[in-house]
Amino acid sequence: MGEVLQIAEDALARMRNGVNDYTATLIKQEAVGGVLPEPTEMAIKVMCKHRGGKQDDSEPMRVYLRFLAPVGVFGREVIWAEDLHDGKLVVHEAGLMGLLTLRLDPKGMLAMQGQRYPIDQIGIAKLVQKLIERGELDRNNPDIAVTIRRGIIVDGMKCDLITVLRKKPSNEENDFSRAEICFDSERKLPLRYTAYGWADGSAKPPVIESYTYRDIKTNVGLTDADFDPKNAEYRFP
């Protein structure tokens, strides 16, 4: 676990020193209330809290999402920024509901429907920070086994695959039986995280949460316009 934590800490330091913003495709699947829906695919833009090399994460985070799948949410767009739009989610839904622009409390009931975490927890830096927090809790846990496979190919890129196995339930929040973390070997960016719950006997453990980031492009030069509903490239009414 110490080696895993070092990988994660090195990755976070590298992002803080060299990644101001990025675009990617995010494929997310989260079990909520014991129900695992089909994956949601989104085009994502993020301005990082650590941009400009701010080690204290003092810059306001900004996020833009455009939903690509499943069909029922295709076309939904979401903008959230700590320093814009009074900190509200700016949303328009797909279909006829897209005729309205909604402004929602990002941690309110409507915004959190079907979500495990609020939008301020999205993104590759937040993912690595959560991995470090969870890893520190299990640093000396004798019920944890860790393997690291280097040089595997994921989406055409050479990656390090970390697998964490828990021998018995911890009865803690966000408990898991197995977690898989995949890092881009060269850029040290997290590409995928999947956590599995517990199952009886030979049953396959259920997915608790899974996040896959594809086609990550860093330092693309995002501006205020990328987080403005009036952007001509967007479809906010």
pLDDT digits (tens, 9 = 90+) for 6-42: 999 999 999 999 999 999 999 999 999 889 999 999 9
Look at residue 3 and tell me whether its pLDDT is greater than 80.
yes
Q: What is the DSSP letter of 32?
A: B
pLDDT tens across 79-118, in order? 999 999 999 999 998 876 678 899 999 999 999 999 999 9
What is the pLDDT averaged over residues 48-77? 94
Q: Which of 193, 210, 219 is nearest to 45 (CA)?
A: 219
Q: What was the pLDDT predicted at 200?
A: 81
Q: What was the pLDDT predicted at 98?
A: 72
The full set of domain ranges for the chain reads: 2-121+219-227, 125-213
Look at residue 156 and tell me whether its pLDDT is greater than 90.
no
Contact 122, 30 (CB under 8 A): no
Radius of gyration for the alpha carbons in the chain, expressed in angstroms and rounded: 18
What is the pLDDT averaged over residues 198-211? 89
Mean pLDDT score of the chain: 93
Helix (H, G, I), strand (E, B) or coil at 160: strand
Q: What was the pLDDT predicted at 154?
A: 83
Q: What was the pLDDT predicted at 125?
A: 96
What is the pLDDT averaged over residues 147-154? 91
Look at residue 225 and tell me whether its pLDDT is greater than 90.
yes
Please tell me whether the peptide bond between 70 and the residue prior to it is cis, using omega within 30 degrees of 0: yes
Helix (H, G, I), strand (E, B) or coil at 82: coil
* Residues linked to residue 181 through DSSP beta bridges, in sequence order: 162, 193
Q: Which residue has the tokens 């018995």?
A: 168
